[in-house]
Amino acid sequence: MDAKARRALDLIRKCIDEERFRLLPHFRQRLAERGFFWPDVLVVIDSPADVRFDGRDEFDRPKWIIEGKAEYGLPMELVCVIDTDDLGRFTVFITLY
């Protein structure tokens, strides 16, 4: 993980701590389909195997993939973007696989 990825991960963690995040419907759907719960997502964010930049989304927001293992060692990759509103930064969780 390079310095840019580390800064993004720190910001994503801060957004979660401050409850400045959104789960898109597709993210919620994939969570249910895979049998995961929010604590599984937090495990991956707390101890990722890799964090990598994945370009920009259609709204020109930086997109990040966080890869790791959820509970019981199940692999998970999270796709999220970092955005800014009038109150500051927030994270939008797009999908997971």
Taking every pair of Cα atoms in the chain, the longest distance, rounded to a whole number of angstroms, is 39
* Rounded Cα distance, 48 and 78, in Å: 10
> Does the pLDDT at position 85 exceed 90?
no
Residue with tokens 């966080």: 66
> Does the pLDDT at position 89 exceed 90?
no
Domain with residue 90: its CATH number is 3.30.2310
* H or E, element range at 5: helix 3-17
Provide the domain limits for residue 48: 3-96
Question: In the prediction, which pLDDT does 6 show?
Answer: 97
Q: How many domains does the chain have?
A: 1
Neighbours of 19 (CB within 10 A): 7
* Rounded Cα distance, 47 and 64, in Å: 15
Lowest mean pLDDT among 20-29, 58-67, 88-97: 88-97
* Helix, coil or strand: residue 70: coil
> Does the pLDDT at position 55 exceed 90?
yes
Residue with tokens 């993980």: 1
Terminal CA-CA length for the chain: 20
Q: Tell me what the mean pLDDT of segment 66-73 comes to.
A: 92
